[in-house]
Structure 1
Amino acid sequence: MHWRIPIEGFSYASFRYSADNEQALVDTGSSYIGVPASVMSEIARITGAKFNSKLDVYVVPCSRMWTLPNLVFQLNNIQYTIPSAQYIIDMDLGDKCALTFYSMKYDKFLGISWILGAPFIRTFCTIFDYGERRIGFAVAIPR
């Protein structure tokens, strides 16, 4: 069973993306958040991130981990906000930290254009209700 949900929109700083009939896969096995290419370009532009081809990730100075804008996903008329400390990871490479995003193409087989992986699931306790075939989210309580 795939946990696919409609996504209505996304915002990051002044950038707004209206998702028209798009689906997101909530994926406990994904370390990153998959986003459409146009969204990835805007995130890189706003953050000033540079693509590191050796690491295959966008990197920013670690000093920005706490100062970059929040991500906001619009799902089922509810806004889910993810702070920058949840979507940036320290790679133990000096002052280089990775943005936990990647650009993805529309997956025709699964019918998805977004993947909500670990940064989303760390921020929101995710409940998979197999019996009722539904999914729920609640703000996770940090340890």
Structure 2
Amino acid sequence: MLSTCGAVRAVEVLRLVVESTTTKTIFFRDFRCAGAVPGQFVMVWVPGVDEVPMSLSTIGHDGLCSITVARVGEATSALHKLKPGDKIGIRRPFGRGFTIHRGKCLVVGGGTGMAPLVPLIQHLEAAGAKVHVVLGARTTGEVILLEA
């Protein structure tokens, strides 16, 4: 069921990247999401299935954005079946996001919990911070977002 908080915008799936056997990153272009700050999330509507919250794993000033999705239920399984050219719905970015600091920063995350940390790392580095990242996973096959 769709919430009444913010209008749903239809976006086209541009490409999908297989991160692991259970995780994919879905790229789309949305200029409203391009104005998000690291740590914010969007509501993703899968037509005929459900609406679910997803962290942004790419926030591009050119509008290129992404979500990184682990297949764990009906909605995320439907997202995994998408192909380039398919449409999904996006609402807002929500949340306050992270505070960006300069200096030395340690960023720790694992699995799809790394998704909102990728834009954070990029913004920290752009702000001149010295960033160290610790990435955890159950197995080496579940290590994701190394290319980000």
TM over 0.5: no
Task: Give the TM-score taking structure 2 as reference length.
Answer: 0.30
- Choose between structure 1 and 2: higher strand proportion: 1
